[in-house]
Amino acid sequence: MINKINIINFLVILTVFFISANIAWLNPRPEFDVYRTIEYFPIFWQYNVDSPTELLSAAFFPEYFKENAIRISRPGYPALVNFITNIMYFFLSPFFKFNYLYYAGAGYIILKFLVYYIAITLQTSVLLKFFSLKNSIFINILIFFHYHSIFYATTFHTSELSFIIPIIFIALYFNLIKKYSILKNILYSLLVGILILCKPNYACYLSILVFSFLNKYFVESIISFFIHLIPIFLYLLYLNYIQIQFYHYGIQGAGFLGWVLDAAKLGYLNLTYEILFSFVKFTKNLIEYFHIFLFLFFIGILNLVIINKNNNKIIYFLLIFIFFTWLQIFVTNRWGGYMVADLTLPIIAISIFYLVSKIDLFHKSKILNIITFIYLIINIGSFINFPLINPYNQNFQKYDINETKNYLN
- pLDDT number for residue 8: 95
- Regions of the chain short of the pLDDT cut 70: 1-2, 250-255, 307-310, 357-365, 398-409
- pLDDT number for residue 350: 92
Where helices occur in 202-257 by DSSP H, the ranges are 203-214, 218-241
C-alpha span between 188 and 385 (Å, rounded): 43
Are 27 and 396 in contact by the 8 Å Cβ rule? The answer is no
288-314 pLDDT tens trace:
999 999 999 998 888 877 766 667 888
125-156 pLDDT tens trace:
999 998 888 889 999 999 999 999 999 999 99
- pLDDT number for residue 91: 96
pTM value is: 0.94
- pLDDT number for residue 166: 98
Q: What share of the chain is helix, strand, coil (3-state, %, to 5)?
A: 75, 0, 25
Cα dihedral 169, 214, 182, 77 in deg (nearest 10): 20
Q: How far is CA 332 from CA 148, 183, 202, 375, in A?
A: 20, 34, 12, 32
- pLDDT number for residue 307: 67
- pLDDT number for residue 101: 93
C-alpha span between 129 and 136 (Å, rounded): 9
- pLDDT number for residue 111: 98
- pLDDT number for residue 255: 59
- pLDDT number for residue 362: 57
